[in-house]
Chain A
């Protein structure tokens, strides 16, 4: 059942659950951050509408810079603006930002510790028909390896809005990953009342009673698949907990270790390469603090291809059934 201490969307398991684009959540968040602080500025590399920065740019045209298709320059410009007291949000598709401009982000932004907010849209296989070239499956690894960087992968539009507003209030360079899911917009799992704090994980799903036997840790919109798996497993008699780990760095080690101690078995779920992603961060933490068996749901050393979001999620082993199978497998590893 939903862990209603955090006031999640009670309709999340209903077929008519509300859906909303995560990118619009970001756009609304940036507008709000811009209203709250006049130092907030926006930069974009020729994808203003696609990444929904138009919501901010229309309201504050004098605080918006269109840099053209030039992501490397955008990172340097944002760093320079930050050094003059601005809080720049720079947005493009994740494959270009932070993919193309990684070294500028490292040296100009992180090495200088400037409070630039990097918005990578179209993260993950869910990008769909555009194909493998545009499905960024490496961005979490690229960003979490950088000292000073904060990495957030919101699960839905409401969380994306809150993460955007919260990131504008910190001095840290921050990466926020957005997905595309245009047609099949992301399910609203959280509500306006759900608390959000950078660096804090939340348990979204819990057993009706007693301790959980398996812990599922998900990041980004695949949290919904993890919840559906939890719901099915619950019916089958497995006691599971599902965690929303939207901040991947700094990792909420206390929450992760606590879940491992309770369940002695962890599944990680992400729309990203298994190598270097959120699951790796969890594994690094548990290997050092409380080693338990882990199964990794993610893309396994492959590039994507064209298809619908659901076709690709199924093909690459990221859907509800894959998560259920992983839980059954790890249950055997744990008890066998």
Chain B
């Protein structure tokens, strides 16, 4: 859609905070996992699944569906929570995250949850797979599907991404939409200290991609960027979404230490209370 109404935005905000609550709860119960990125991407995942994605949660293998490829598999709590809230599986199942026998493996594993488009965790590999899917879809000359690939900014340290960027532009994959979580953190600290990424916009432009940079928590900007990417006729698109790690829990926001840790009981209770207030606002 070209524009988005205030009512729709309000609805998405509530949805996103409910998803955040699920993320915090599942990570607390799991006792390990990655918090910051999952919370930071909750708005975009919410927009995608409740705003634009062509999918049928009750029929996850519908051939005409758009595909979501999560490259940075460690933020899978946001994928699982959004899928559950969309109706792919019971919300209660989120409590099994990272437990023995669970479909919700610590990093996404398609053998355990076949409705996932791929398994991931090892970084720098999702984009290549999304490119392969988009190429295969173009070969079919059939129904126009979109391929949404999520990638972390720290993940852009992996060189194979640039092999995939080149192929995507060579093949004119205008059905491919890459969303970079530009939260400026990675495990060892700030992305600009660990391995400076610099000006991502010009980097992607030099690979001949259509580039948009947005506030990843502003539904108007998200909507606008995805709309532009969808109508792009010649190039693959990248949306560089500036996000705040751990968005929604003020104490944790922006702190890279939350990249790979989970809340204890006290932190969990404070976070849930804060998110509850946001939902009711």
Residues in chain A within 8 A of chain B (CB atoms): 41, 62-63, 65, 67-68, 70, 72-86, 88, 103-104, 107-108, 111-113
Residues of A within 8 A of B125 (CB): 76, 104, 107-108
**Cα–Cα distance between A72 and B128 once the two chains are bound (Å):** 8
Task: List 6 A-B residue pairs with CB atoms under 8 Å apart, sorted by A's residue number.
Answer: A70-B166, A72-B160, A79-B128, A83-B118, A107-B119, A108-B128
Interface centre among B111, B132, B140 (most CB of A within 10 A): B132
Whether, in the assembled complex, B60 has its beta carbon less than 8 Å from a beta carbon of chain A, the answer is no
B101 CB to nearest chain A CB (Å): 18
- Assess whether B137 is in contact with A76, with CB atoms less than 8 Å apart: no
- Assess whether B166 is in contact with A86, with CB atoms less than 8 Å apart: no
- Assess whether A65 is in contact with B118, with CB atoms less than 8 Å apart: no
B118: contacting residue among A62, A75, A79, A88, CB under 8 A: A79
**Cα–Cα distance between A75 and B130 once the two chains are bound (Å):** 12
The 5 lowest CB-CB distance pairs between A and B, nearest first, are A80-B132, A76-B128, A73-B163, A70-B163, A84-B136
Residues of A within 8 A of B122 (CB): 103, 107
- Assess whether B111 is in contact with A73, with CB atoms less than 8 Å apart: no
Contact with A along B115-138 (1 / 0, CB 8 A): 001111110011111111111110
**Cα–Cα distance between A335 and B140 once the two chains are bound (Å):** 64
- The secondary-structure label for the interface of chain A is helix
Residues of B within 8 A of A80 (CB): 69, 118, 128-136
B55 CB to nearest chain A CB (Å): 16
Q: How large is the interface on B (under 10, 10 to 19, 20 to 34, 35 or more residues)?
A: 20 to 34
Q: Which residue in chain A gives the minimum CB-CB distance to B63?
A: A85
16 additional A-B pairs beyond A107-B121, A111-B109, beta carbons within 8 Å, are A41-B139, A62-B139, A63-B139, A65-B167, A67-B163, A70-B167, A72-B160, A73-B160, A77-B129, A79-B118, A80-B133, A81-B136, A86-B139, A108-B128, A111-B110, A112-B111
Whether, in the assembled complex, B238 has its beta carbon less than 8 Å from a beta carbon of chain A, the answer is no
Given known pairs A67-B163, A70-B163, the reply for A77 and B139 (CB within 8 Å) is no
- Assess whether B133 is in contact with A76, with CB atoms less than 8 Å apart: no
Whether, in the assembled complex, B275 has its beta carbon less than 8 Å from a beta carbon of chain A, the answer is no
Whether, in the assembled complex, B79 has its beta carbon less than 8 Å from a beta carbon of chain A, the answer is no
Residues of A within 8 A of B134 (CB): 80
**Cα–Cα distance between A111 and B142 once the two chains are bound (Å):** 29
B122 CB to nearest chain A CB (Å): 5
Q: Which residue in chain A gives the minimum CB-CB distance to B160?
A: A72
**Cα–Cα distance between A74 and B167 once the two chains are bound (Å):** 10
- Assess whether B127 is in contact with A76, with CB atoms less than 8 Å apart: yes
Q: Which residue in chain B gives the minimum CB-CB distance to A67?
A: B167
Whether, in the assembled complex, B164 has its beta carbon less than 8 Å from a beta carbon of chain A, the answer is yes
A77 CB to nearest chain B CB (Å): 4
- Assess whether B132 is in contact with A77, with CB atoms less than 8 Å apart: yes
**Cα–Cα distance between A82 and B110 once the two chains are bound (Å):** 14
- Assess whether A112 is in contact with B119, with CB atoms less than 8 Å apart: yes
Interface centre among B69, B118, B127 (most CB of A within 10 A): B118
Given known pairs A41-B139, A67-B163, A103-B122, the reply for A77 and B128 (CB within 8 Å) is yes
Interface centre among B121, B134, B139, B171 (most CB of A within 10 A): B139
A319 CB to nearest chain B CB (Å): 40
Given known pairs A76-B129, A107-B121, the reply for A86 and B136 (CB within 8 Å) is yes
A79: contacting residue among B121, B132, B171, CB under 8 A: B132
CB within 8 Å of A: which of B138-189?
A: 139-140, 159-160, 163-164, 166-167, 171
**Cα–Cα distance between A108 and B111 once the two chains are bound (Å):** 12
**Cα–Cα distance between A103 and B163 once the two chains are bound (Å):** 16
A106 CB to nearest chain B CB (Å): 8
**Cα–Cα distance between A201 and B134 once the two chains are bound (Å):** 40
**Cα–Cα distance between A74 and B132 once the two chains are bound (Å):** 9
Given known pairs A62-B139, A107-B125, A111-B111, the reply for A83 and B133 (CB within 8 Å) is yes
Residues of A within 8 A of B109 (CB): 111
- Assess whether B166 is in contact with A76, with CB atoms less than 8 Å apart: no
**Cα–Cα distance between A81 and B127 once the two chains are bound (Å):** 12
- Assess whether B167 is in contact with A77, with CB atoms less than 8 Å apart: yes
Residues of A within 8 A of B159 (CB): 72
- Assess whether A73 is in contact with B117, with CB atoms less than 8 Å apart: no
- Assess whether B132 is in contact with A81, with CB atoms less than 8 Å apart: yes
Residues of A within 8 A of B166 (CB): 68, 70
B160: contacting residue among A68, A76, A79, CB under 8 A: A76
B118 CB to nearest chain A CB (Å): 6
Residues of B within 8 A of A82 (CB): 132
Residues of A within 8 A of B136 (CB): 41, 80-81, 84-86
**Cα–Cα distance between A72 and B124 once the two chains are bound (Å):** 10
- Assess whether B133 is in contact with A108, with CB atoms less than 8 Å apart: no
Q: Which residue in chain A gives the minimum CB-CB distance to B161?
A: A73
